[in-house]
Amino acid sequence: MRDRPKFHVERGEPLSTTQPGRICPTCARPKRACECRPAAQRSHAPAQSAVPADGIVRVSRQTKGRKGKGVTLVTGLRLPPAGLDALCKGLKQRCGAGGSVRDGVIEIQGDHRDALVAALEAAGHTVKRAGG
């Protein structure tokens, strides 16, 4: 029986480990305990969103990474998580579809851009249709 771990031939990384999570390639410690990166990068605070802070709510449709199934995305809402959840619930009921909130973006299953634009404008938001 081998008492040393197997390593990947090209990368020199362990093939398996008993430690939880990913391993830092530089110091070979778990990513959470990595000493290579500055403390600011080690924090698990959510990253700043790529949504422009211009006050405009954008409604778009996306199929990428969803096996061809389309979802309608609502981005640019500057609301707390509880507010996003409440708004998402109302929009799902209005469209008669499922959906969720992920990373500050409301996802509604199906193509409901027209209904969402109308609902958000009625709620007092400045809305743009983004994408095609």
Q: What is the CA radius of gyration of the chain?
A: 21
Q: Which two tokens stand for residue 106?
A: 């409301």
* Residues 40 and 47: beta-carbon distance below 8 Å: no
Burial of 116 (0-12, 13-18, 19+ CB in 10 A): buried
Instruction: Please state the domain extents for the chain.
Output: 1-44, 56-129
Q: What is the pLDDT of residues 14-43, one digit of tens each?
A: 666 565 567 777 777 777 777 776 654 545
Fold for the domain defined by 56-129: Translation Initiation Factor Eif1 (3.30.780)
pLDDT of amino acid 37: 63
Alpha helices in the chain (DSSP H): 39-42, 81-95, 113-122
* Higher per-residue confidence, 107 vs 37: 107
In the sheet with 56-62, reading across from the earlier edge strand, the strands are: 99-102, 105-109, 71-75, 56-62, 126-129
* 47 confidence band (pLDDT: 50, 70, 90): very low
Q: Which two tokens stand for residue 72?
A: 């309608």
Phi, psi values for residue 107, rounded to 5°: -115, 120
What is the distance between the alpha carbons of residues 132 and 65, in angstroms, rounded to a whole number? 17
Q: What is the pLDDT of residues 54-82, one digit of tens each?
A: 788 999 988 887 787 889 999 888 888 89
> HSE (CB half, 13 Å, CA atoms) of 50?
0
